[in-house]
Amino acid sequence: MGVNSSGVGGGPYNPSDWDQLQIIHVGKHGNDVNDGRNEGPAKLTFAGARAQVVANGDAAANNRYVLWCKDAGQYDEDLVGLAFTDIWAPKAAINPITTHTFVDGVAWRIGRVTVGTGLTGFTKTVGANGARLRLTYLTCQGTAGGLLVTAGGITLDIKQVEVENGYGIGSAGMAGALDAGVGAINITGTGIGVGTIAGGAEIDAKIGCIDDAGAGTAIFIGNVASTINVVCSRIDCNTAYNVAAAGTLNLHCSSLTGARVGAGTINLVASGVGVENTPIGQTVAAVGSFTDLAGTFKEYVSIPIEWALDGTTPPDAAQVLINSRKIVVRQFQGITANQDVLIPWAIPHDLSGAIIKFRVRGYVSDATAPGAGETAIFTLAGTSIGGSENLNKALGAAVSATFTADATYVQYDRWTTTWSGDVTITDLLADEDTHLQLIRDQGSDTYVQKIGVAWLDIEYTRSVSN
C-alpha cells in the first residue's frame, strides 16, 4: 500500500529513492564503503557512520544527524560522541571495547549494552553541559562500572541494570553529575548499585528497586565529598548503604532492608510502614547521624475575626459587610488610638518549634479607600499557657505586618498584609493554649480611615512524627 508523504514529493514512500541526508543508516547487512544515506546501502558499523558525518562536514545545531540502526544485531565497538549527532538503535546491542564516550548535547537510544570486566560502559569527560542516554538493559560484568562522568552530566533512563562486582549507576571515578531513572538494579555478586569513591559527584536517582543475591551494597559513597539523592520503592540488599564521613546521602525509601553503615550525613525518609517497621522520625542506625528530611513542614490556620474577644481598646463590634456577597468584619480605626483584640488559639498537637508567622486579611469597609502607598499596620504578640500557669502570663515581643495599598483600591476590595517576620510566642508548646493580641498600630500606619478585618492567618511548623 502506498503511503503519501510531502517529504518525498507526495508520492509513495520508497526508501530506495529517498535521500535522507541527515540520517546515516547502520545495519548488519551494510558495508562501510556505502554512504549510509538509505536503509538498503547502510553502513556496517557506527564508527563508519560517524566517519561519514565527519566527511560530510555540515553537522550543526540546525542540521543535526542521526546514526540510525533498526536491527537487533550485536555491535562490538566503541561509540565516540560527535557534536550534533544522535544515535537511535533501540533494538541493537552495542558493547564497548574500552568505553562509549559522550560529548555535550547528544542523545543516544540503545537496546542493550554489556560491559566487560574492568571496563566502564559510558564516560563523559569533556564539556560543561549534559547529554542524554536511554537504555533498555545494562549488564556490568566482573568489576565493570556503568557510567563515569567527570565533566558536565548525563541524564539517564534505564529499565534494567545487572551488576556483578563493580558499579551499576556510577563508577569508582564518578565525579560529575548524573540524573538517573532506573526500573530495577540487580546485584549478582559483591557489587554496588549506585555509588562512587571519587570526590565532587552528585547523583540523583529514582529507582524502582535494588536487590542482591546476598553480598551487594545498594548505595555507596567512598571517603569523598560526594552527594547521592535516591528515591526508591524498595531496597533489599546485604548492605543498604555505606556512606563515608565526607559523603552525603539523602534517601527516601518505602521499604528498606540491609545493614546501614556510615559516618557521613545520611538523611533518611521512610514512607508507609517505614524502615524495617521503625516508625517515621525514630533513629534507626547504630552508626552515623540519621534524620527525617520530611520531619517538618509548614501548616496554616485561618482564624475568623468574629472569634476574637475585646482587648483594652477594642475595634467596632463584628458586623456583616455586604456588597452582593457577605463577610463578617471588625473595623479597626486609623486615628486617635491603637485598637486591639484578644484571640485564643489551641496549639496543635503536631506543632514543632517555638516560632509562628502571621498575616491579616480583610476588606475595605470605608467609602474612602486607601490611596497609593498608604498603609495599615498590625502587630501580633502572644503567650502560651500550660497546666497550672495563670491566664495573666506575660506576652512576648510584638511583631508587625503591613498592608500597603496601590492606586486601584475601592470600597469592598479585599486586602492582605505581607507575612510577618518570626513571632516568638512565650513558651510555645504543643497542646497548650496560645493567647494572641492583635493590634492595629495607628501610630505607625498612614491610612486614617477604619478598615475591615476578617481573618488572622497563622503559619506554623508541623511535625509528621506526632
CATH number at residue 363: 2.60.120.260
The CA-based angle 420-425-429, given to 5 degrees, is: 125
Distance CA 235, CA 428 (A): 40
pLDDT on residue 466: 55
Looking at the fold, whether 121 and 243 belong to one and the same domain comes out as yes
Last residue of a domain, one of 239, 268, 294: 294
Q: Which residue is it, cell 470605608?
A: 366
C-alpha cell at 74: 550485536
Nearest to 164 by CA among 99, 232, 95, 216: 216
H/E element, 47: helix 46-56
- Looking at the domain assignment, is residue 220 inside a domain? yes
Per-residue pLDDT reduced to its tens digit, 217-239: 999 998 678 899 999 999 999 99
Give 295's pLDDT tier (boundaries 50, 70, 90): low
DSSP codes, 202-224: EEEEEEEEEEESSS-EEEEE-SS
pLDDT on residue 148: 84
Most confident region among 196-200, 230-234, 275-279, 359-363 by mean pLDDT: 359-363
Looking at the fold, whether 45 and 190 belong to one and the same domain comes out as yes
**How many Cβ atoms are within 10 Å of 414's Cβ, its own excluded?**
12
Asked if residue 19 has pLDDT above 70, the reply is no
At a CB cut-off of 8 Å and minimum separation 6, what does 136 contact?
90, 110, 111, 112, 158, 159, 160
pLDDT on residue 18: 39
Give 341's pLDDT tier (boundaries 50, 70, 90): very high
Mean pLDDT, residues 342-361 taken together: 92
Give 197's pLDDT tier (boundaries 50, 70, 90): confident
The HSE-up count of residue 386 (CA atoms within 13 Å, CB side) is 7
Mean pLDDT, residues 429-458 taken together: 94
Mean pLDDT of the chain: 88
Distance CA 343, CA 456 (A): 9
pLDDT on residue 465: 57
C-alpha cell at 131: 547529554
Last residue of a domain, one of 254, 271, 294: 294
Looking at the fold, whether 427 and 336 belong to one and the same domain comes out as yes
**Could you tell me the residue range of the domain that residue 372 belongs to?**
298-463
Task: Please list the residues that pair with 180 across neighbouring strands.
Answer: 156, 205
Mean pLDDT, residues 23-52 taken together: 95
- Looking at the domain assignment, is residue 162 inside a domain? yes
Q: Is 277 exposed, middle or buried (0-12, 13-18, 19+ CB in 10 A)?
A: exposed
Asked if residue 17 has pLDDT above 90, the reply is no
Looking at the fold, whether 337 and 238 belong to one and the same domain comes out as no
CB 301, CB 458: distance < 8 Å: yes
Task: Please list the residues that pair with 250 across neighbouring strands.
Answer: 229, 267
pLDDT on residue 329: 98
Asked if residue 289 has pLDDT above 80, the reply is no
Per-residue pLDDT reduced to its tens digit, 240-271: 999 988 888 898 888 888 888 888 888 887 65
Distance CA 268, CA 260 (A): 11
Looking at the fold, whether 137 and 241 belong to one and the same domain comes out as yes
Asked if residue 14 has pLDDT above 60, the reply is no
Comparing 16-25, 186-195, 230-239, 329-338, the range with the smallest average pLDDT is 16-25
Give 152's pLDDT tier (boundaries 50, 70, 90): confident
Looking at the fold, whether 290 and 302 belong to one and the same domain comes out as no
Mean pLDDT, residues 373-379 taken together: 96
- Looking at the domain assignment, is residue 141 inside a domain? yes
Looking at the fold, whether 237 and 154 belong to one and the same domain comes out as yes
Question: What is the tally of structural domains in the chain?
Answer: 2
- Looking at the domain assignment, is residue 376 inside a domain? yes
Last residue of a domain, one of 224, 259, 294: 294
C-alpha cell at 453: 478585618
CA 132 remoteness from chain centre: 19
Nearest to 93 by CA among 77, 109, 76, 112: 112
Looking at the fold, whether 176 and 267 belong to one and the same domain comes out as yes
Looking at the fold, whether 273 and 380 belong to one and the same domain comes out as no
CA-CA-CA-CA torsion sign (312, 315, 319, 324) = negative
In single-letter form, the type of residue at position 280 comes to I
Looking at the fold, whether 45 and 127 belong to one and the same domain comes out as yes
Asked if residue 141 has pLDDT above 90, the reply is yes
Distance CA 206, CA 163 (A): 17
Distance CA 317, CA 158 (A): 66
- Above pLDDT 70, what percent of the chain? 89
In single-letter form, the type of residue at position 324 comes to S
Nearest to 361 by CA among 319, 310, 302: 302
CB 399, CB 420: distance < 8 Å: yes
Comparing 98-107, 167-176, 316-325, 409-418, the range with the smallest average pLDDT is 167-176
C-alpha cell at 84: 550534533
Give the gyration radius of the chain's Cα atoms: 33
- Looking at the domain assignment, is residue 1 inside a domain? no
Looking at the fold, whether 279 and 314 belong to one and the same domain comes out as no
CB 138, CB 164: distance < 8 Å: no
Looking at the fold, whether 288 and 307 belong to one and the same domain comes out as no
